Amino acid sequence: MSRTRDERVGEHLLRELAPQVLGAIVRRYGDFSAAEDAVQEALIVAAQKWVEQGVPENPRAWLIHVAARRMSDHFRSVLARRRREAVVQPLAGDDLELRVDPEPERDDTLLLLFMCCHPSLTRPSAIALTLRAVGGLTAAEIARAFLVPEPTMAQRISRAKQVIRTTRARFQEPTPAERAERLGAVLHVLYLIFNEGYTSSEGSSLQRVDLSSEAIRLARSVHHALPEHGEVAGLLALMLLTDARRLARTGKDGELIPLDEQDRTLWDRAAVVEGVALVSEALSRGSVGTYQLQAAIAALHDEAARPEDTDWPQILALYGLLRRMSDNPMVTLNHAVAAAMVHGPTRGLELLLPLDADPRLADHHRLAAVRAHLHERAGDHPAAIAAYRTAATRTSSLPERNYLLTKAARLAAAK
């Protein structure tokens, strides 16, 4: 194995372990900001030493041990400074040497999710902070998920950390009542992590399977804890039904394959069966939420043996319900696509017009890409070519850009 591959393996492992280590350190010491700094230092040390010395037998325990030592050094430094200033206040580390974890093998990632959605933070700030801490997403990736500029998101994350520092919020395991209060934010975080994994917003790969798989794992954990909660079941079902198509979404060279051109024999039928069962049971309880509706739409796609078998009138009706429940412009975009499939591309193009005035989506590549697709279906190839090219300039995902440029080139060659 070459050094370059060793480094790639180490980076992947560090990214996977980072939220688990941060959760363990926060649970043990309660100080999120200091814990985050300590874990970052431990990751830097690991990135250097693991390449030189090899990955330790228990890398998670190794990282926790190094991060705990950094926490010890941090608290001693703060205590020493306060004693010099004669303003000693209780700290999480007043009695700290190197604490022994009574549950060393416990995975604290889910706990970290609930802790990050702290009541001292606004919901958008808590979600952004959690995506950074648990999902390992960059400010740019989080900004694209929220449909806001990157500087805006960077400031939001910075303010969240400042609130934690200034309020001295102690992060500890939430009570059942606190978990219930924070559940909506936790589900939204998992939804965004899955989406970034399923369709990466930047880079050379269409998918980041590590992220989507981790989101599914955590959603399963939440569902295991709350089996009767309809939206928890709906979110897990949505992830399973969407992820079931993963192997068919890219070709041998990593190129994007759209839904209507995929080899459906490659779809994971076990995941489809499980997802359909989950959403069917959740919907039967009577209280319907947005994740359940999205899962129902995904189920209609997955149950169609051929693209032409897709029940588009039912999908259009479900998107109509979603539009009444959500102010998300992506829902409006998808509703326009469904309307085009039922009533023709001209109707779909009409429904896209209000989105041109929505700052959250006006300059997004998906709006231009959908408009291009509908112009192509309507036979207006010059407009489709222009829109495909516009969409290509607006995406940071190389597979999506290549797909859009290829579509434009094929239409231009056919003229």
pLDDT, tens only, 297-349: 999 999 999 999 999 999 999 999 999 998 899 999 999 999 999 999 999 99
71-75, 236-240, 337-341, 405-409: least confidently modelled range: 71-75
What letter does residue 85 receive in the DSSP assignment?
A: H
Say what the pLDDT of residue 104 is. Answer: 54
Is pLDDT above 90 for 122?
A: no
Q: Indicate the angle between helix axes 150-167 and 32-53, nearest 10 degrees.
A: 110
Cβ proximity of 345 and 375 under 8 Å: yes
393/391 Cα distance (integer angstroms): 5
Cβ proximity of 220 and 199 under 8 Å: no
How many C-beta atoms lie closer than 10 Å to residue 376's C-beta? 20
How is residue 196 written in tokens? 């970034």
Task: Give me the percent of the chain exceeding a pLDDT of 90.
Answer: 51
The dotted CATH code for 339-415 is: 1.25.40
Of residues 93 and 45, more confidently modeled: 45
336/357 Cα distance (integer angstroms): 15
Q: What does the DSSP assignment read for 230-256? A: HHHHHHHHHHHHHHTTGGGSB-TTS-B
How is residue 243 written in tokens? 């992820």
pLDDT bin (cut points 50, 70, 90) of residue 372 is very high
List helix spans (H) across 290-328: 290-302, 312-325
pLDDT bin (cut points 50, 70, 90) of residue 293 is very high
Is pLDDT above 70 for 213?
A: yes
Task: Give me the percent of the chain exceeding a pLDDT of 70.
Answer: 88
pLDDT in tens, 70-104: 888 877 776 777 666 655 455 444 444 445 454 55
The alpha carbon of residue 364 and the mean position of all alpha carbons in its chain are separated, in whole angstroms, by: 18
The closest of 274, 290, 180, 181 to 235, measured between CA atoms, is 290
Say what the pLDDT of residue 168 is. Answer: 57
Find the length of the chain: 415
Is pLDDT above 90 for 261?
A: yes
Is pLDDT above 50 for 5?
A: no
Say what the pLDDT of residue 312 is. Answer: 98
Say what the pLDDT of residue 106 is. Answer: 67
Average pLDDT over residues 104-110: 70
Cβ proximity of 282 and 300 under 8 Å: no
127/113 Cα distance (integer angstroms): 9
What letter does residue 203 receive in the DSSP assignment?
A: E
Cβ proximity of 361 and 355 under 8 Å: yes
pLDDT in tens, 167-184: 655 666 778 888 888 999
Cβ proximity of 233 and 281 under 8 Å: yes
Is pLDDT above 60 for 117?
A: yes
What are the DSSP E strand ranges found in 133-198? none
122-126, 305-309, 377-381: least confidently modelled range: 122-126
Average pLDDT over residues 274-287: 93
